[in-house]
Amino acid sequence: MHKSFVKTFISLSFLFLVISKASAEGIWFPTDKPNCEVWNPQPQSEETALWSGTCLNGKVHGKGVTTWRNKKDGKFVLRLIEGERKNGRVIGQVTITYENGDVYIGKLNTNGNRDGQGTYVWLDGTKFEGGYKDGKYHGQGTFTFSHGEIQKGLWKDGKLAESDGGYGRKGYNFGFKTKWVKDKYAGIDFELRNCMGSYLNPFNNEFWTDCTGTHIFPGGNKYQGEYIDGKRHGKGVYTLANGNRYVGQYEFGKMNGQGEYTYYDGAIYMGYFKDDKRHGNGIYTQPKRTNNDGVVYIGDYKNGKKHGDGYLYWGGGYKYNGVFTNDKLTGYGAYTWPDGTKYVGDHKNDKQHGHGVLTYPNGDEYEGSFKDGKLTGQGTVNFSNGGLYVGDVKDNKISGHGTYSYADGHKYVGSIKDSLKEGYGTHTAADGTKYVGQWKKNKLDGYATIYDKNGNVIQKGIFWDGVFVE
């Protein structure tokens, strides 16, 4: 679905197709104050803005608080940005309070992303202090986790490049200390005593409990870690005979908490688990293979499936940043193709569905209805050459009834089929001449009347393939 989507929609042999620029690059946005706009670098669904400060020359200006209200997952949420603005744009340091209670103090770039030195504090007390670049950790930085552990190091493009100490794989917090050599797992610092004797004591029929031991199961699977009543509980390493391996936390025999699961084919998941399934925030990476270009997913999981906010990258340059539901693109999000084509809007079952904006590299833009991955319903097409279409679209083509305003001053109102004038309609030339009647493939065909700019009849009768017959 992703790679084939509406690529066939662009066929500009006739003026009636496609799309211009807009939300991907930011827009001037109205506030609750009359004639007072604010720069919005990242427009969201059903968004409004309130401004507490003053206005100058039609733009917010000076110190104040911008309260952004937008729809997310079917609910309206608030985001507060406190700081100084000049001619509508943020300058200097700001304080942002997010809808979930997280707070960021620092600078933003022109795209609205965290940039430069800043401090981000999560609701649970975890804090990052350091450098950012276009929204990603970049430069020296320190993570202070809510339970007191500290991870310092040099970050690059959101990843820990060099560690100054701490724990976890490449700075990833497992909730306990692990040993790594050249980015490869080398062991866990267990805290419980060593288990004595056999996994099951043959004399009293009791399993290992409150201890650390190694047990090899029938079939070759192996577990090294902590036990309670014979069940994996606490920190542990479980290595399967097929080459898969889990390093992380267990509760009563199941993966629960933070950990890393490495698959025999090289894929890796780092994040949270619940009842042996990915659940919570995590990172999944799949290396490039013969039949695909690799996959990276960063975001939320629920019961083993991508669910909630997430970022998905397919090798080759395909990207999606938005909402997932039961492993599918369902909700509001942005999808980008390698050539720069971008869709921002609603999704359903991995397809563009609902309201959205589709922007092409040449500057054309469509905003309107989508259904099952196709442009279907009502929409507006802004052409980069200055033309404008407002009306019906169907199956990625302009079809139905609509109004097209040409860049050179011409205008057509009427029926359209497959992006061509077809059926009854009125074409008004730039000089005021009107062509009213039946059309077929952009030519008068059937009964029609031609009027001059003053409304006088010039020609009236039957036309065939654009030629007057009688």
Tell me what the pLDDT averaged over the chain comes to: 83
Report the alpha-carbon angle 116-118-120, nearest 5: 140
Residue 12, pLDDT above cutoff 70: no
pLDDT of 259 higher than 80: yes
Rg from Cα positions in the chain: 30
Predicted confidence band at 146 (pLDDT cuts at 50, 70, 90)? low
Report, as an integer, the average pLDDT of 83-105.
Answer: 88
In which domain, by residue range, is 119 found? 25-359
Per-residue pLDDT band for 162 (boundaries 50, 70, 90) equals low
Q: What is the reported pLDDT for 19?
A: 24
In a domain, 110, yes or no: yes
β pairing state of 37-40 and 75-86: unpaired
Number of separate domains in the chain: 1
Domain membership flag for residue 34? yes
For residue 192, tell me if it sits in a domain: yes
The span from the CA of 111 to the CA of 135, in Å, is 9
User: Tokens at residue 243, please?
Assistant: 């080459």
What is the average pLDDT across 342-364? 93
Residue 170 has pLDDT above 80, yes or no: no
Please report, to the nearest 10 degrees, the dihedral formed by the alpha carbons of residues 279, 281, 285, 291 taken in order.
60
What number is the average pLDDT over the span 197-206?
Answer: 64
Neighbours of 50 (CB within 10 A): 16
* Domain assignment present for 115: yes
Q: List, for residues 244-253, the tens digit of each pLDDT value.
A: 999 999 999 9
CA dihedral (129, 130, 136, 138) in degrees, to 10, reads -150
Task: Give 403-442 pLDDT, tens digit per residue.
Answer: 999 999 999 999 999 989 999 999 999 999 999 999 999 9
Structural domain includes residue 431 = no
Tens-digit pLDDT profile for residues 441-452 = 999 999 999 999
User: CA–CA separation, 425 vs 442, rounded Å?
Assistant: 10
Q: What is the pLDDT of residues 460-470, one digit of tens each?
A: 999 999 999 98
Does 460 map to a domain? no
Strands 114-121 and 103-108: antiparallel
Mean pLDDT (whole number) for 355-365: 93
Nearest to 410 by CA among 422, 423, 421: 421
Euclidean distance between CA atoms 179 and 247, whole angstroms: 11
CB 133 within 8 A of CB 112: no
In a domain, residue 400? The reply is no
Task: Look at residue 85 and tell me if it is in a domain.
Answer: yes
pLDDT at 28: 92
